[in-house]
Structure formats: C-alpha cells, structure tokens
C-alpha cells in the first residue's frame, strides 16, 4: 500500500532519462519544497524547513516531463509516496520518494504553453471535441460560477 501525495516545489536538477530493460522510459529528478513565512519581528519573508523528494515518472509522463521540466522550474507533483531506508558508505538515512502520476508547472510563478501530444489522448469530458476551440467553448462560465452562453449562441444551459 502507498499513500498519495501532492507537493509543490522547485526542481533541483534537470530530469535524467533512463529506461527499464523492457524499454519503458523513466525520468528522475530531485524536488525541494519549503514554506515561506512572514517574520513578524522583521517584517520580511523567510524560508521555513525544506523537504526533499526524489521524483520518478514513467512512460508518456516521463517523455513529456523530459521535454517540459528544467532545473529551477516550480512544479506541482502528485503521485504515490513512500519512505525508503538507505545505507551507503557507513551512513544511514531515509529517502522520501514520489512515483508521479501527474506533473505540471505551478502557474503562480510563471506561464507555460500547452501542446497536446498526438500519442496521448486520455478520455475526458471534452474527449470528443475535434479541435482545441471546441473543447475550450464546451463550457463558458465566469469565475463567479454564473453561466454565460458561448458567443454567438442563445438559450439556456439546460
């Protein structure tokens, strides 16, 4: 059994690509996650404790991350979490590892350009849309949650 975790952090090294003996692509990178807090005494922002994670991704996610993620990028990683004990050179420790099932840029810190891969088309609510425009216009609502018709269309949402 494994626990599911979502972590926001900074990529510490460019993802490294490997593959299994069966040819399945894998990438690995380190992720640093820390909380910033305001020091009331000085009025400045200070870093809190940093948690370090070893992140792995497989198959299509690995290939996409290899093209998209670089050292210094802020990302959101979601996946299976496990703690692994290790021993090397007379030292012992515990490594926090995430097998990612989802990975993307944290848009609070920058912008990104999405380019859908032709090979990966997971089913979803807009899976039948033939163009990006159809998918984008499938639902048109403002952030308050009120409904607005698609431009050029009249009627109710029901």
Query: pLDDT digits over 23-74, tens only?
Result: 999 999 999 999 888 999 999 999 889 999 999 999 999 999 999 999 999 9
Q: Which two tokens stand for residue 32?
A: 């640093």
Query: Is 121's pLDDT higher than 80?
Result: no
Full-model pTM: 0.69
Give yes or no for a contact between 135 and 129, defined as CB atoms under 8 angstroms apart: yes
What one-character DSSP code corresponds to residue 145? S
Q: Does domain 3-137 have CATH number 3.20.20.120?
A: no
- Enumerate the domain spans of the chain: 3-137
């Amino acid at each position: 059994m494994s626990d599911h975790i979502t972590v926001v952090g900074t990529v510490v090294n460019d993802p490294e690509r490997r593959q299994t003996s069966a040819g399945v692509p894998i990438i690995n990178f380190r992720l640093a996650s820390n909380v910033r807090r305001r020091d009331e005494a000085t009025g400045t922002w200070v870093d809190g404790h940093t948690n370090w994670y070893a992140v792995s991704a497989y198959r299509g996610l690995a290939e996409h991350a290899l093209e998209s993620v670089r050292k210094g990028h802020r990302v959101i990683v979601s996946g299976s979490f496990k703690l692994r004990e290790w021993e090397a050179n007379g030292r012992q420790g515990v490594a926090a590892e995430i097998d990612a099932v989802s990975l993307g840029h944290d848009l609070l810190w920058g912008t990104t350009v999405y380019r859908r891969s032709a090979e990966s088309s997971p089913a979803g609510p807009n899976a039948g849309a033939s163009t990006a425009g159809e998918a984008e216009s499938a639902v048109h609502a403002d952030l308050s949650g009120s409904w607005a018709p698609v431009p050029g269309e009249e009627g109710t949402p029901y």
